[in-house]
């Protein structure tokens, strides 16, 4: 497979507002798809975008069972995709949108895998913010996982509340909880222990190991959307979404 040919072709489609061209279905291995994704990231940066960080997906059993995919995945975050809590999205601008309930972690020092220890990762992560990842279901993950990874793992935007410094008292992220509310009503409550079966810091360990396979790492100052505590929720026009993270605060978004 000529990775450059795939990148050139998919980049042209993205520039025209098209995603996941069917002509590439079944033609990429998962390893090739990640290589395409990272080359697309490089093209964004060459075009003037700035990378905000990374996302880790499919970290909770509920997510993996819902999507029919049984391994984590990664994508990149662009600064142009960052939105503050309370942001109003135009529903018509989104493609089959959904949201996930996550902690957005800030890394104060660079991390390069593989085989990082939990202590070294905990020392590097300085803040956690309540967050919603806004995804677009541009395809069915189980039916076309490589192409979905080439198209940046459903990533569209990410909404964050205020970052909170990690301390000895709140640093065990597996003990954090989220309460999800859609249109005012309580919908679900879930634990941070659902992420990687222990807590969001394990997402960072997985990510550094995976990025190392492609000669990459996590830079100081970058943020990491560390994976949903819950299943993925679909969004309808007019929805108001709020996620209350204990002890990290609240984040909300609106879809007009």
Q: What is the DSSP letter of 95?
A: S
**Residue 108 CB contacts under 8 Å (≥ 6 apart), including other chains:** 124, 125, 126, 220, 221
Distances (CA, A) of 165 to 127, 128, 170, 245: 4, 7, 9, 14
Per-residue confidence (pLDDT) for residue 168, from 0 to 100: 93
How high is the pLDDT of residue 13?
Answer: 87
In angstroms, rounded to a whole number, what is the distance separating the alpha carbons of residues 220 and 108? 5
The whole-angstrom separation of Cα 54 and Cα 34 is 13
Domains and CATH numbers, the chain: 51-255 (3.90.850.10)
User: Which residues of the chain have a pLDDT value below 70?
Assistant: 1, 141-143
- Strands (E) in the chain, as ranges, are 51-57, 73-78, 82-84, 87-89, 97-107, 125-136, 155-160, 164-165, 177-182, 185-191, 223-225, 233-234, 240-246, 249-255
pLDDT of residue 84: 98
Q: Are 135 and 232 a contacting pair, CB within 8 Å?
A: yes
What per-residue confidence (pLDDT) applies to 142? 62
Nearest CA-CA partner of 207 in 217, 198, 195, 219: 217
d(CA 138, CA 13): 14
């Amino acid at each position: 497979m000529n990775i450059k040919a795939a990148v050139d072709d998919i980049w042209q489609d993205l520039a025209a507002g098209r995603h996941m061209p069917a002509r590439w279905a079944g033609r990429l291995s998962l390893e090739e798809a990640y290589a395409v994704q990272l080359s697309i990231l490089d093209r964004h940066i060459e075009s003037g975008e700035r990378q905000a960080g990374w996302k880790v997906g499919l970290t909770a059993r509920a997510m993996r069972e819902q999507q029919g995919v049984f391994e984590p995945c990664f994508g990149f975050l662009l600064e142009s995709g960052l939105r503050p809590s309370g942001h109003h999205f135009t529903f018509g601008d989104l493609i089959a949108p959904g949201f996930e309930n996550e902690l957005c972690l800030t890394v104060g020092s660079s991390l390069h895998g593989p085989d990082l220890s939990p202590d070294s990762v905990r020392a590097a992560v300085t803040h956690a913010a309540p967050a919603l990842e806004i995804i677009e279901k541009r395809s069915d993950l189980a039916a076309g996982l490589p192409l979905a990874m080439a198209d940046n793992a459903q990533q569209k935007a990410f909404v964050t509340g205020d970052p909170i410094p990690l301390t000895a008292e709140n640093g065990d992220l597996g003990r954090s909880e989220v309460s999800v509310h859609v249109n005012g009503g309580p919908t679900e409550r879930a634990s941070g222990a659902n992420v990687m079966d222990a807590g969001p810091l394990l997402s960072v360990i997985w990510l550094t190991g995976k990025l190392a396979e492609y000669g990459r790492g996590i830079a100081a100052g970058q943020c990491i959307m560390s994976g949903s505590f819950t299943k993925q929720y679909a969004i309808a026009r007019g929805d108001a979404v709020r996620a209350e993270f204990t002890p990290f605060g609240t984040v909300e978004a609106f879809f007009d």
